[in-house]
Amino acid sequence: MTVDTFFSTIAKVAGWILPVLGIVVLIYLILILRELLVTLKSATKTLTTTEEQIRKLDVPLQTAENLSRTVDEVHETTKKAVKSTASFLVSNLDQLKNWFHQKNSNVPNDVDESFLSASEDIKEEESI
């Protein structure tokens, strides 16, 4: 057998086998595409169901968001109140010191005077 006859025989066999192999590959490709379409349809149904469930969660999430905003507003208001109170106290610190000193100096005098008057009453009773 010569090389020319060998290659001509291979060409004839390939001429018969290649169309058959092409049809087999096309059939497998069609089957793969069919499965892909079925999977995509299933994924579409799953995504639709997921979207419905997420829409159901929108209302509770909106409520949580509103609550979070309210907590933030209360926090900011409290922070402003504390800052304004602190700044008021710092700016009027001298007046507060004077007021406390006046109150503290009046309290012992009142106590001393009432103590003295009570002790004088006791001495009078003892002398009787």
What range does the domain containing 112 cover?
93-128
Both 75 and 97 in one domain: the answer is: no
Q: Which residues contact 89 (CB under 8 A, 6 or more apart)?
A: 96
Both 74 and 128 in one domain: the answer is: no
Both 27 and 69 in one domain: the answer is: yes
Both 38 and 84 in one domain: the answer is: yes
44-69 pLDDT tens trace: 999 999 999 888 888 888 888 999 99
Which residue ranges of the chain lie beneath pLDDT 70? 1, 106-128
Domain tally, the chain: 2
DSSP state of 92: T
pTM over cut 0.75:
no
Both 87 and 97 in one domain: the answer is: no
State the alpha helices, DSSP H only, in the chain. Answer: 3-91, 93-127
